[in-house]
A = this chain, B = another copy of it.
């Protein structure tokens, strides 16, 4: 009745031996573990990218799946490693806040345990690769059914990480691009609900450029046109139909996006 599924999310890239070493260690602990790559292309040491990635993907998985995350710029310092339980969804993460945006989305109180019980670790623990030496074997043991409380003490504090939130209010919202996908679509941090107040009279600027069409989907505008829409993750997205908005607007992660009303000030 145990789910043997462990997803892997790292910033190791697909060329490195690090991912393969972790897979080997997990299988050595639990030969029946079912490993599933989510991505190994999180930006190097980019904890915010990891946070965005987890918040937009983990909710789609069954609760029984265990998520192993290794984006770990603090490896070998005093930072701890954590087991997290979010309303039944379980993650193993470095304590750098990568899971907090997901927790806010899911709601409720997280249960957090510090990984301190070395009997579930590899015998020799390096100072630069805790993903392989601590997180991977602990993941294996969890899918074998050990009680997470055996892993270490319950924690009552941890690193926070806030994804940038849009600023403004009644007449104007200023947000930024969180992620650029492979099609050059700009995914912003502005929630779809946030722009409803501007419906029918919305003006969007990315840097110096105006995006004057808002649509439900790409196909509603002509090829080559810029448009804004509410993305499949519920966030404001800037796209070019059959093209790349990122190239067209020379905009990347962090680019400023301003949504305002184009009604005259007196309404």
Interfacial residues, chain A to chain B (CB-CB below 8 A): 3, 5, 7, 9, 11-25, 27-28, 31, 35-42, 44-45, 52-53, 56-62, 64-65, 73-77, 126-129, 132-133, 179, 181-183, 216-220, 229, 231-233, 237, 242
Contacts and interface: CB of A to CB of B under 8 A. Distances in A.
Q: Which 7 A-B pairs have the closest CB atoms?
A: A76-B217, A24-B60, A77-B219, A129-B232, A13-B182, A24-B61, A15-B41
Given A27-B62, A44-B183, A132-B232, 20 more contacts: A3-B31, A7-B20, A13-B182, A14-B41, A15-B182, A17-B52, A19-B39, A20-B57, A23-B60, A23-B61, A24-B57, A25-B60, A27-B65, A31-B64, A37-B37, A44-B182, A76-B217, A76-B219, A128-B218, A128-B229
B182 A28 contact: no
B219 A28 contact: no
A75 B218 contact: yes
Contact of A232 (B59, B128, B182, B229): B128
Nearest to A40: B14
Copies of the polypeptide in the assembly: 3
A20 B38 contact: yes
A195 B31 CA distance: 37
Contact of A58 (B11, B24, B73): B24
Contacts of A233: 17
B62 A21 contact: no
A53 B15 CA distance: 9
A15 B39 contact: yes
Contacts of A75: 217-219
Contacts of A52: 17
